[in-house]
Amino acid sequence: MDDLVKDEPFTLETLSFTTGIDIRNEATVDFRAKGVNGRLRYEIPDLPTSAGELKPSWGSLQYRTLDGLSGSVGDYSADYRELDGVGVRRIRGASASKSSEHGRWALAVGAPVNGSEGVSEDQNRFTFGGLAAGARWADAEGWEAGLSLRSDDITDDQRVVLSLISGRLGRQKVGGFTWDARADFGYFNGPDRAKSLDVRSNGSARVEFAENWDFDMTASYDGSEFLKSVLSREALEERLANLDENQIDTNETETIPDIRRQGTDQAAISASLQYSARRDIGIFKNPGAALNVQRSTSGVSVGSDEAVNLNSWGVTASTAIAKTNTYFTVNYTQFSQDFVAEPENDEDGYGLTLQSYQNFDFGTLRAQYAETQRGDNDKSQRADVSLSLNAKRFDLPKSATVSIGPSVNAVWTPQASFLRGGVVATADSGDLFGKQNNVSASFGVLQSFGGQGNGEADTYFTLNAGRRLRLNDNLSLGLTYRNDLKGDQRFGIRLDGRYRYNEARKFSNTEEGRGVLKGRAFLDKNRDGLRQEDEPGLRAIVLRVTDGQRKLGLRTDGEGYYTIQNIKSGIKTITLDNRSLPLGYALSDETLLRATIRDGHITTVDLPVVQRGQIRGFAFIDDNGSGEFEKGETRLEGARLKLVSADDAEDVRETVTTSFGQYAFDDLPAGDYAVTLVKTNNPDAIPGEGVTITLDPESELMSRARIAAMPARKETDFADAVGLEPDEPPPDTGPDADNGTLIGSP
């Protein structure tokens, strides 16, 4: 493969972009040069209104070589977990990875996210600083190992972490037993570090000791230096989330308190016994239950006198009532927090949650009760009941729709209670204003009906109008308008573009004894088997490749291309699934669907698809000469029809009508045709005038035509014609016989 592409110059493959208001603006450029494929990617969250907003939220150059080396320069998300040991995912730097039959290695180095800055009044961008680097090996057997480091230029903190992970190695079930384990060994240095070496580990195991019973057990230990890094990262993530969401409810309290503390280590052990019936028991449908027990200790290494112990247990049960399909879930958790050095801070608590829901034909009824208490604080109680009725949909002409969905919600707490009702209505114009125009609207109202609500109604209304224009084969324009009828309105414009300059290269170096099979399915308009510039590719066509034993299946991409990498050498047969072809299309009969794959070579097989035109209908006796088939007129079976092409006089075809006079001429290219009746196969009919039919590609080359035959004229006896009895002489014609007038005629 390298020899085939070593002299290939820079080749632009595709350019695509999206730009507009209130949408992510992005542009990508795909290219190749010699043995490297590349992609440039640029993104910003909205249409820029200032120079500062042009600063990318994502900018990268991605690459991939023929020998399988891939990576990027610029923004990168460490999805191969190269930096998991130091708790980093997003960096601005460089990465590389490569897979083989033995496993995959991955490298990443760059500056991690360390904050956020405003680039305008309403837009922010991540800031990057310091250094993060990591390498990771994922073995084909399932285990992983990695080494990562991070240096913070603000706090002058450095750490290096060696990670060992069991991965899939332990998740392979043996006798109902599975396990998972991880260990991190770290070196830390910085003004806020209490020690230089630390460890973090966790492990879990599951035993399926009976058909319906599972037992899980987990144990973990987080050294103080590791825990300090985790808490610092969580604090940064919360600050960044506050900037992105503008508001976050930080007043929510968990039933079980978080006892992690800066400067201390923590150990935890938990066990869970789970039961799942996997069948119905009496009136209960697939019931299940779980018992959970956990003990955590913060400050393991500082001595028992300063430790904080947290013990908790809980039980969960769920089932459905078989006859009514009413679902119930109960969860109860109880804990005790023990401050060894400060017993006055000891705290007990519990949490109880009951949930139920029932689906009806007309809607869904949900109910929930929650009760919690921690220490000497007042008990917290809340009950919710809601009824959501299925939206009633009204179908209007041209796919337009209107739907209305009401709901009722009741809330009770010891301090307040109220009942609220609401309705949400939506409308969509469908094709009412044309396929390129769309108008949608939504209206909602929530009203307090009683209790201690404020009695005020919350309403909203939004109106969206849009038009989609296809400017050409590469560009489309979208126009939008939004209005909430409260003074907030906005016009929007969106431009999408995609330019394909050359076929994308989707292959890489092959293994020994293998090659590459590629090609393109396209509409062969002139049926010459060769693709012309105006003959488009066909997307999502299913093709299958077989060598008599194995069969491979795949779909063509959006431009009709397909590529099979590392296909074994030998003779292959290619078939198309006709069900994936548009109506009236088929593979050209002249196409040779066999390919010879050679070791280390590229074999190209294009698939010309032709539009098979069809003229169909039936033949009948036109008794009244109207030219139209009417009830009671006879259909002709066994009649012979002839079709002649106006574009090619040698293209003459014949067919015979079948039951009910039906006929069809298939596999016809676009053009004009004359269809005539040659023989009626009925003594009461003679051939009539033929019809001329045009097969237009815009009409999918399909046409229906009814072919009329004329009634046959019967030979009538003269005596019968004038109403004479047999052997009666004709009347005297007299002198008017010469003028051809029959005396006594009407």
Residues 670-716: tens digit of each pLDDT: 889 999 999 999 999 999 888 999 988 766 678 889 999 999 875 54
Q: Is the pLDDT of residue 582 over 80?
A: no
- pLDDT, average across residues 110-124: 92
**For position 489, what pLDDT does the model report?**
77
Better pLDDT: 727 or 214: 214
Q: Is the pLDDT of residue 60 over 50?
A: yes
Q: Is the pLDDT of residue 742 over 60?
A: no
Q: Are 247 and 105 in contact (CB under 8 A)?
A: no
Torsion-angle region of 529 (φ positive above 0: left; ψ -120 to 50: alpha; else: beta): left
How many Å apart are CA 380 and CA 269, to the nearest integer? 29
- pLDDT, average across residues 337-361: 91
Looking at 176-217, list the stretches that DSSP marks H as alpha helix, in order from N- to C-terminal side. none
Q: What is each CA distance from 205 to 166, 182, 355, 424, in whole angstroms?
A: 12, 12, 30, 48
For the stretch 135-145, pLDDT in tens is: 999 999 889 99
Q: Is the pLDDT of residue 448 over 80?
A: no
How many Å apart are CA 561 and CA 540, to the nearest integer? 9
Q: Which residues touch 284 (CB under 8 Å, ≥6 apart)? A: 277, 319, 320, 321, 322
Farthest-apart Cα atoms in the chain, separation: 150
Provide the pairing of β-strand 266-276 with 691-695: unpaired
Strands (E), 569-690: 570-576, 585-587, 594-597, 602-604, 607-611, 613-621, 640-645, 652-656, 662-668, 671-679, 685-687
- Of the CA atoms within 13 Å of residue 712, those in its CB half-sphere come to 11
How many Å apart are CA 251 and CA 316, to the nearest integer? 26
- pLDDT, average across residues 662-673: 88
For the stretch 241-257, pLDDT in tens is: 665 544 434 344 467 88
**By C-alpha distance, which of 414, 340, 339, 342 is closest to 373?**
414
What predicted TM-score, i.e. pTM, was given to this entire model?
Answer: 0.70
Q: Is the pLDDT of residue 743 over 50?
A: no
Better pLDDT: 151 or 261: 151
Q: Is the pLDDT of residue 609 over 60?
A: yes
For the stretch 93-109, pLDDT in tens is: 999 999 988 999 999 99
**For position 699, what pLDDT does the model report?**
64
Better pLDDT: 625 or 55: 55
For residue 512, the 8-state DSSP code is: T
For the stretch 527-580, pLDDT in tens is: 788 888 888 889 889 988 987 677 888 899 888 999 988 888 888 888 888 788
Q: Which residues touch 26 (CB under 8 Å, ≥6 apart)? A: 17, 18, 41, 42, 43, 44
Q: Are 77 and 97 in contact (CB under 8 A)?
A: no
Q: Are 563 and 504 in contact (CB under 8 A)?
A: no
Q: Is the pLDDT of residue 739 over 50?
A: no
**Look-up: residue for tokens 């590349």?**
38
Ramachandran angles phi, psi of 253, nearest 5°: -115, 140
Q: What does 298-316 look like in DSSP terms, one character per residue?
A: E-STT-GGG-EEEEEEEEE
Q: 337 by DSSP, 3-state: which? A: strand
Q: Are 341 and 305 in contact (CB under 8 A)?
A: yes
Q: Are 85 and 148 in contact (CB under 8 A)?
A: yes
Q: 548 by DSSP, 3-state: which? A: coil
Q: 745 by DSSP, 3-state: which? A: coil
Q: Is the pLDDT of residue 443 over 90?
A: no
Q: Most confidently modeled of 180-184, 305-309, 398-402, 528-532?
A: 180-184
Domains of the chain: 391-469 (no CATH), 514-611 (2.60.40.10), 613-711 (2.60.40.10)
How many Å apart are CA 35 and CA 502, to the nearest integer? 16
Q: 655 by DSSP, 3-state: which? A: strand
Strands (E), 347-416: 347-359, 363-374, 380-389, 392-395, 401-412
- pLDDT, average across residues 177-194: 92
Q: Is the pLDDT of residue 503 over 60?
A: yes
**For position 39, what pLDDT does the model report?**
97
> Which of 335-339, 363-367, 665-669, 724-728 bottoms out in mean pLDDT, i.e. has the lowest?
724-728
**For position 737, what pLDDT does the model report?**
42
Q: Cα 676–679–680 angle (5° rounding)?
A: 100
Better pLDDT: 447 or 391: 391
Q: 542 by DSSP, 3-state: which? A: strand
